[in-house]
Amino acid sequence: MRYFKSVSDIGDLSAAVKEALDVKARRFDFKHLGENKTLLMIFFNSSLRTRLSTQKAAMNLGMNVIVLDVNQGAWKLETERGVIMDGDKPEHLLEAIPVMGCYCDVIGVRSFARFENKRDDYEEKILNQFIRYSGRPVFAMETATVHPLQSFADLITIEEHKAVERPKVVLTWAPHPKALPQAVPNSFAEWMNAAGYDFVITHPKGYELDPQFVGNARVEYDQDRALEGADFVYAKNWSAFADPNYGKVLCTDRSWTITTEKMALTNNAYFMHCLPVRRNMIVSDDVIESERSLVIPEAANREISAQVVLKRILESL
Ligand code: AN0
Ligand code: CP
């Protein structure tokens, strides 16, 4: 594998989950793969889980790791070609990327949607420049439109906890004070569709996601009805995708918060969220602290999804 951004990059999903469970059971058995290989992780945005779990995964594989927070200590980067660089940005991404490629064997990129230009975001302008100019395998650590390491970890977590072959999985929008990207719900929808679960998306009107990710999922605007019989409830906020409201907060209605009363509508569902989560906006204290909350196992599986992805990249070098 040379690039990782969509579910299709990982191939057969049951084989990927099988490999993940194998890696989880013997995560230090692949140390030879990463010997004298360097992972460079580039962060344009904050992170706790992605930073720690991906570094841990790389160390499990015997790799060396360099982490660069672009906004702390590096030169401010211009990303637009053709700009007369007489402003506050001393370096261009078009030099920075091949330079970074000189010092590593694999590159992970975190670069969120900027909400300045929907086309730039949805064309994955930043990630694609890394793919084009670094000369290295590149994987997404949440880009403008996708967060596949998260969705892969979520899939592993569901497979570990499901009681029936084809569980009902509900992705529900929940309120949040700030505009958040669609990357997590986009990838989650893409991966749940690929897994073939009974998959339902619920959100207020105006929060429709990009149809290329929604696929054949059922969309239900009544959250209570969507939650009926759910085996897994995956909460997440996102901002509007549809024009003319791209990147805007249209609603902060707290009747969409996942509470004990909402969970009572389900089939004793597990609660999931990628974290970081705002308590009592997205989910009540009681639900996130309950026995059915999977937020910590999901975070733990981020090490495993990252290790499978890095392992496959290393195997193809
Ligand atoms: C980010 C998001 O919603 O995409 C990262 C989630 C993993 N969340 C925040 O910025 C709070
Ligand atoms: N879930 C996730 O990607 O968390 P971080 O933003 O902390 O990396």
Instruction: Assess contact for 177 and 143: CB atoms under 8 A.
Output: no
Same domain, 127 and 194: no
Mean pLDDT, range 263-271, rounded to an integer: 98
Closest ligand, as measured to the CA of 274 = 2
In the chain, the percentage of residues whose pLDDT exceeds 90 is 100
Boundaries of domain holding 213? 150-298
Residues 190 and 248 in one domain: yes
The answer to whether residue 159 scores a pLDDT higher than 90 is yes
User: Do both 142 and 174 map to the same domain?
Assistant: no
32 and 126 together in one domain: yes
Which residues surround ligand 2 with Cβ inside 6 Å? 47-50, 142, 150, 274-276
CA of 86 to the centre of ligand 2 (A): 34
Q: 251 and 208, same structural domain?
A: yes
Residue 276 sits in the same domain as residue 218: yes
Q: State whether 182 and 285 are in the same domain.
A: yes
**Mutation to probe ligand 1, out of 112, 234, 279 (largest number of atoms < 8 A from CB):** 112
**Same domain, yes or no: 156 and 293:** yes
Q: Give pLDDT tens digits for 112-145.
A: 999 999 999 999 999 999 999 999 999 999 999 9
CATH assignment at residue 268? 3.40.50.1370
Given the CA of residue 147, which atom of ligand 2 is nearest to it?
3
- Ligand 1 atom nearest to 184, measured from its CA: 4
Q: How far is the CA of 50 from the centre of ligand 2 (A)?
A: 5
In this prediction, residue 18 has a pLDDT band, given cuts at 50, 70 and 90, of: very high
Give how many domains the chain has, as a whole number. 2
CA 274 / ligand 2 centre spacing (Å): 7
Residue 230 pLDDT exceeds 90: yes
Given this model, what pLDDT does residue 73 score? Answer: 87
Measured CA to CA, the distance from residue 273 to residue 226 in angstroms comes to 17
Transcribe the chain into DSSP letters.
--EESSGGGG--HHHHHHHHHHHHHTTTTTGGGGTT-EEEEEESS--SHHHHHHHHHHHHTT-EEEEEETTTTSPPEE--TT----SS--EEHHHHHHHHHHT-SEEEEE----SS-HHHHHTTHHHHHHHHHS-S-EEESS-SS--HHHHHHHHHHHHHH-SSSS-EEEEEE---SS---SHHHHHHHHHHHHHT-EEEEE--TT-PPPHHHHTT-EEES-HHHHHTT-SEEEEE-----STT-TT------GGGSB-HHHHTTSSSPEEE--S---BTTTB-HHHHTSTTB-HHHHHHHHHHHHHHHHHHHHHT-
Q: What's the CA-to-centroid distance between 95 and ligand 1, angstroms?
A: 28
pTM for the whole thing? Answer: 0.98
Is there a single domain that holds both residue 223 and residue 271?
A: yes
- Closest ligand 2 atom, CA of 149? 3
Residues 185 and 79 in one domain: no
Closest listed ligand to the CA of 183: 1
Atom of ligand 2 nearest to the CA of 275: 1
Strand order from edge to edge, sheet including 198-202:
218-220, 198-202, 168-173, 232-236, 270-272
Residue 176 has pLDDT above 90, yes or no: yes
Nearest ligand 1 atom to alpha carbon 278: 11
Residues 178 and 279 in one domain: yes
- For range 23-50, the mean pLDDT: 98
The residue-averaged pLDDT of 157-170 equals: 98
Same-domain pairing of 126 and 174:
no
Q: Which of 274, 294, 303, 309 to mutate to test the pocket of ligand 2 (most atoms within 8 A of CB)?
A: 274
Other residues' Cβ atoms within 10 Å of the Cβ of residue 101: 17
Q: Tell me what the pLDDT averaged over the chain comes to.
A: 98
